[in-house]
Amino acid sequence: MRKTVVFIILIMMQYQLQSQDIIKISADLELIRISNNTFMHVSYNEVPGYGRVAANGLIFIEGRKAILFDSPWNDTRSEVLITYLEKEMGLKIKGFVPGHWHEDCMGGLGYLKSRKIISYANSLTQHIAVEKGLPVPDHGFSDSIILNLGRKEIRCYFPGAAHSTDNIVVWIPSEKILFPGCICKSADARNLGNMADGDMVSYPGTVEWIIRKFPDAKTVIPGHGAYGGTELLTHTLSLAGNK
């Protein structure tokens, strides 16, 4: 009982924190400050069968340069976000990394490519994009890649299939921020959501790999819903059927 109460208090604290320092860019787009150097971008879209859905992405800043992880749902919302980052925050977008091929991760890739913003993705994401006639990320990797923004490192890993067969996780060591995206569920999620392109057999093992790989993570950002700590990963593991 005590553990349950503590868990509820932690969730309430996270929601209270996330209600502060929110920048409303438009009715469908907002920024939430995670740390001095990072923002979570949240974009909204009407999804058949689900209604109005919010999706999370990440912006990591070093000086006046930034890298975008996941785009808003489409080119229009992505243009609004990039324009705000450039004109209102004075940032130069140096790269883009989608977490997987779905529209809530790289629906704005067409616009980003038109702006010559270099993109990096799982090579599986590239292959799926070609097959489906979607814009294709510029550079692919298989197991992992290290990107540099100034003196800071960003590490991207393919942990195995879960929400999709190509999903990756992003780790920013300097911030101790982990962005597993749609692999990870928010604290209030009661199921794994859309698994049409996922792998239920591999899901538990993939989440276990992430938990082992990033024991020092302080902030964990799911693909949808409020961010939290590593308890989101253990919650996701329970939803995936591994109690």
Residues with a known catalytic role? 100, 102, 104, 163, 182, 185, 194, 224
**Which residue from 135, 47, 151 is spatially nearest to 96, judged by alpha carbons?**
135
Residue 236 exposed, middle or buried by CB count within 10 Å (0-12, 13-18, 19+): buried
Reported in sequence order, the residue ranges of the chain that DSSP labels E, i.e. its strands, are 22-26, 29-35, 38-47, 51-62, 65-69, 92-97, 120-122, 139-141, 144-149, 152-157, 169-172, 177-181, 219-222
Q: Which of 126, 99, 123 is nearest to 223 (CA)?
A: 99
Q: For residue 167, how many other CB atoms are within 10 A of its CB?
A: 30
For residues 224 and 204, give the distance between their C-alpha atoms in angstroms, rounded to a whole number: 19
The set of residues, in sequence order, having a beta carbon less than 8 Å from that of 56 and lying 6+ positions away, is 40, 41, 42, 70, 181, 221, 222, 223, 224, 225, 227
- Could you please report the per-residue DSSP string of 182-232? TTSPPTT--S----TT--TTTHHHHHHHHHHH-TT-SEEEESSS--B-THH
Per the CB < 8 A criterion, the answer to whether 149 and 194 are in contact is no
